[in-house]
A and B are shown apart, each in its own frame.
Chain A
Amino acid sequence: MKQYIEAIHDALFEEMGRDERVFVMGEDVGVRGGVFRVTTGLIEQFGESRVIDTPLAESAIVGVAIGAAAAGMVPVAEIQFADFILPAVNQIISEAAKMRYRSNNDWHCPLVIRAPYGGGIHGGLYHSQSMEALFTHVPGLKIATPSTPRDAKGMLLAAIRDPDPVLFFEHKKLYRLVKEDVPEAEEVVPLGKAAVRRQGDDITVISYGYTLHLVLEAAEQLAAEGISTEVLDLRTLRPLDEAAILEAARKTGKVLIVHEDNKICGVGAEVSALIAEQALFDLDAPIRRLAGPEVPAMPFSPTLEKAYMLSTERITAEMRKLAKF
């Protein structure tokens, strides 16, 4: 049984062992082993030339990583908290995402940026935000966000081996919350593939990250009430697994999309639009979205943070309503 955080550590460890071009860099990733201890032991194993502690300068971290990638290395850059990715946005969007396109395939950018995101960990606003939607708009980027340990490992392997930039969002609350058997043998989970987490034929719920687990709990509860739920884990937010989304939507005709990020222009909007465009005649109810509230960021007060976060109860209620429609 491995925790999510261990699975990520293992993926880094194995890939660095397998391919010497792979190196990690970021604030405190070396001697300290990462603020969450994801990179514990890497510096001892691979040395400080492959596990690089950087200054507190995200644009530099990503900028250097892009340069290294262009020069034939395979960097895994860590943004300590996803909230602080913003200073590096220009590097990511203007350089990494466009390198292959602007060079007519002469250059590419095999870069992974790991960014712990999400709330529910009493981190306050600068340590709890969901940043994924911001990047899903950008062609040239892949956005991955695994929700289970097995996926975390397998998808990180895939991300590191991907020849183009991948933003790898890890929900902090999952780090030590979920455990599962992760096979010892190498298992690469391809990016761009969603996973059906539960089969059902009354309603379809599409989610990712931490909220996926709340959805699964809710589905379990509703099963006792006779409501059967199809649960789809998006896993990769760009590119979306359109076929899997449409299949899951068509299966029940009643779709709920759940994510922690706020609703407006969030990932749910894209998923919803896709379904509306391509599966209209299979829909049996208006597509619904349940997401974070329309406020600028996660509050620090525990009470308010709790109010901000989605809960199994709220998701259950929303699912029940959809089933009843």
Chain B
Amino acid sequence: MPDVLMPQLGESVTEGTIGKWLKQVGETVAKYEPLVEVLTDKVNAEVPSDFEGVLSEIVVPEGETVKVGTVICRIASEGDGHPEGTTDAGRAAADSAAKAAAQASNGPASGPAPAPSAAPSPSAGSGAADGRPGARGRYSPAVLALAEQHGIDLSQVPGTGEGGRITRKDVLAYVQGQTAPSDAAPAAPTGPAAAPTAAAPTLQAPPEPSAPAAGLGGGNAAWSGTDDEVVVEPTAIRRTIARRMVESKHNAPHAWTMVEADVTKLQQFRDAIKADFKRREGIDLTYLPFFIKAVVDGLKQFPMLNASWQDDKIHIKKRIHISIAVATDDALVVPVIHDADRLSIAGLAHAANELAAKARGGRLTLDDVQGGTFTVNNTGAFGSILSQPIINAPQAAILSFESIVKRPVVVDDAIAIRSMVNLCLSIDHRLLDGWVAGQFLKAVKARLASFGPETVLY
């Protein structure tokens, strides 16, 4: 029975967090079929199976972080035969599957509310084919119809179909077995010790339509709570974000500073050329590539901001890889424009556009999110005029570009209407001080103010 190991997903990556198991115990797995999501550096990478067979045991549950090379699951090859596979699965059911079922989306059998009644497969764990949530959670219309007709709790029926699926014949056999020695019937439902209220009426209304819905929905919703609040089980990526934020805030002493820049010329320039750019390039010309360009030029002058504090040493990075923060509905990802200093403004526009699209489509690869040396945060995109960003550790600094707003400002002792933007910089005070931060911001500000009709886009 081959073991599947935590793969090394990048050169310097030594561990990975199990995100979501895409296969459940008992399900068949084709070679190269995605098996599990592994999270590193805030991205989901789908790990394909090296083997063909049936997923017989999940060793590492969702959310747990393990070293590269650790056994994460076991796959029984087809040759191992069903009987053997089922006992393995039965054993696995006790711990991992039940645990996964309890917290994961497509748990077995019943709907959201009486979930506990479906979970107690440990008690039935000795039963041959139990504890295969994936295949067991999906019933054919015939099986559901029979279950309803005979008032059967499908979680009690052993499945002999592919991956432990309960077939119509299984239900019929179960009905026959139950009706023959009729006093045996009430014995079965006493099993679930967990939820007393749900346990008693096991022979009541069957799980019916809610079962496939739960199986297919695949959402993250492990909802609970009271009338006044809802408690949501965070997704694996949300947990990772939470952990990283705490780590960064905890490890790096954040200092924060802000300057305001006059980007009137830039705004006029962009307004003048954006239609033409869209026609030629097929993408919108936003302010972001200009911001990145200004940052890149600033970093070239002040390489100390393109550095990190690691093992009590300062590592100054020679290459400039700009991380850009992209918020999706439920997560924050930070893909990287590698060697941003080698790209023109148009090149940066394309790179940022592509990464944002990939991020929103969930198509980012591990390469796309690795190796950033400095983060540009475009908080202005959602209207913010002031923010205090958390450093994307182990980088040394993060710069937020806020909304561009027209404001009255004093120019040459006169009041003028100018397009102003706030630049908010958080720095790791271990390696950066106010002075260098200020110099850097001054350089960025000057570069921003320099964009205008004479700026070359390509």
Q: State A324–B162 Cα separation when bound (angstroms).
A: 6
In this assembly, does A178 line the interface, its C-beta being within 8 Å of a C-beta of chain B?
Answer: no
Cβ-based interface call for A242 (8 A): no
User: For residues 155 through 170 of chain B, which have their beta carbon under 8 Å from a beta carbon of chain A?
Assistant: 161-162, 165, 167-169
Q: Are B162's CB and A283's CB within 8 A? A: no
A325 touches B145 (CB 8 A): no
What are the interface flags for A168-210 relative to B under an 8 Å C-beta threshold, 1 for contact and 0 otherwise?
0000000000000000000000000000000000100000000
A324 engages B141 (CB within 8 Å): no
CB-CB contacts below 8 Å: A239-269 with B: 252-253
From A202, A253, A324, B142 is in contact (CB under 8 Å) with A253
Closest to B165 in A: A325
A284 to B169, CA, bound (A): 9
Question: A280 on the interface (CB 8 Å rule)?
Answer: yes
* Contact across chains for A280 and B161 when beta carbons are under 8 A apart: no
CB distance from B145 to the nearest CB of A (A): 4
Q: Are B168 and A284 in contact (CB under 8 A)?
A: yes
A-side contacts of B142, CB under 8 Å: 253, 281-284
Report whether B145 and A282 are in contact in the complex, using a CB–CB cutoff of 8 Å: yes
CB 8 Å contact bits of B118-146 with A (1 = contact, 0 = none): 00000000000000000000001111110
**Minimum C-beta distance from B433 to chain A (A):** 67
Contact of A283 among B140, B161, B165, B169 (CB under 8 A): B140
What's the Cα separation between A283 and B140 when bound, in Å? 7
Q: How far is the CB of B283 from chain A (nearest CB, A)?
A: 38
Which residues of chain A come closer than 8 Å to B161, judged between CB atoms?
324-325
Judge whether A285 is part of the interface by a CB distance below 8 angstroms. yes
A280 close to B165 (CB less than 8 A): no
Residues of chain A at interface, number, CB under 8 A: 11
Q: How far is the CA of A124 from the CA of B259 in the complex (A)?
A: 80
Contacts of B169 in A (CB 8 A): 202, 284
Q: Quick one: closest A residue to B166, CB to CB? A: A284
Taking CB atoms, residues of chain B closer than 8 Å to A285 are: 140
B140-A284 in contact (CB<8A): yes
Question: Which residues of the other chain, B, contact A281 by a CB distance below 8 angstroms?
Answer: 141-142, 144-145
Least CB distance, B53 to chain A, in whole angstroms: 15
- Kindly report which residue of chain B lies nearest to residue A252, judged by CB atoms: B168
- A324-B161, A324-B162, A325-B162 given as contacts; is B141 within 8 A of A283 (CB)? yes
Q: Which residue of A lies closest to B149 (CB)?
A: A281
Kindly list chain B residues whose C-beta atoms are within 8 Å of the C-beta of A325. 161-162, 165, 167
Q: Which residue of A lies closest to B167 (CB)?
A: A284
Interface size class of B (residues with CB under 8 A): 10 to 19
Interchain CB contact under 8 A, B141 and A282:
yes
Which A277-302 residues have a C-beta within 8 angstroms of B?
280-285
**Contact, CB under 8 Å: A253 / B168:** yes
Residues of A within 8 A of B162 (CB): 324-325
Residue of B nearest to A282 (CB): B142
How long is the Cα–Cα vector from A325 to B142 in the complex, in angstroms? Answer: 13
Within 8 Å CB of B141, what residues of A?
A: 280-284
Q: How far is the CA of A281 from the CA of B147 in the complex (A)?
A: 11
In the bound complex, residues from chain A placing their C-beta under 8 Å from that of B168 are: 252-253, 284
B41 to chain A, nearest CB (A): 40
* Cα distance A253–B161 in the bound complex, in angstroms: 13
| B residues in contact with A284, CB < 8 Å | 140-143, 167-169
Interface centre among A253, A280, A283 (most CB of B within 10 A): A253
A202, B161: Cα distance in complex, Å? 12
Complex interface bits, A206-220 against B, C-beta within 8 A gives 1, otherwise 0: 000000000000000
Q: How far is the CB of A249 from chain B (nearest CB, A)?
A: 10
By a CB distance below 8 angstroms, the chain B residues around A280 are: 141
What separation, in Å, do the CA atoms of A289 and B83 have in the docked complex?
30
Within 8 A of B (CB), among A26-49: none
Q: How far is the CB of B295 from chain A (nearest CB, A)?
A: 54
In the complex, what's the smallest C-beta–C-beta distance from A200 to chain B, in angstroms?
Answer: 12
A285 to B141, CA, bound (A): 8
Q: Complex: how many Å from CA A281 to CA B161?
A: 18
**Residues from 162 to 181 in B contacting A, C-beta threshold 8 Å:** 162, 165, 167-169
Instruction: For the complex, give the distance between the alpha carbons of A128 and B191 in Å.
Output: 62
Contacting residues, chain B, for A282 (C-beta < 8 A):
141-142, 145
What's the nearest-Cβ distance from chain A to residue B380, in Å?
Answer: 51
Q: Specify the chain B residue showing the minimal Cβ separation from A324.
A: B162
Name the A residues within 8 Å of B144 (CB-CB).
Answer: 281
Within 8 A of A (CB), among B282-338: none
Q: A283–B168 Cα gap in the complex (Å)? A: 8
Residues 248 to 262 of chain B near chain A (Cβ within 8 Å): none
- Mark contacts of B169-197 with chain A using CB atoms, 8 A cut-off: 1 yes-contact digit, 0 otherwise: 10000000000000000000000000000
* Shortest beta-carbon contacts, A-B, top 10: A284-B168, A281-B145, A284-B142, A253-B142, A284-B140, A253-B168, A281-B141, A280-B141, A283-B141, A282-B142
14 A-B pairs besides A253-B140, A281-B145 with CB distance below 8 A are A252-B168, A281-B141, A281-B144, A282-B141, A282-B145, A283-B140, A283-B142, A284-B140, A284-B169, A285-B140, A324-B161, A325-B161, A325-B162, A325-B167
Q: Can you give 30 contacting A-B residue pairs, CB < 8 Å? A: A202-B169, A252-B168, A253-B140, A253-B142, A253-B168, A280-B141, A281-B141, A281-B142, A281-B144, A281-B145, A282-B141, A282-B142, A282-B145, A283-B140, A283-B141, A283-B142, A284-B140, A284-B141, A284-B142, A284-B143, A284-B167, A284-B168, A284-B169, A285-B140, A324-B161, A324-B162, A325-B161, A325-B162, A325-B165, A325-B167
Residues in chain A within 8 A of chain B (CB atoms): 202, 252-253, 280-285, 324-325
- Spell out B's residues near A (CB within 8 Å): 140-145, 161-162, 165, 167-169
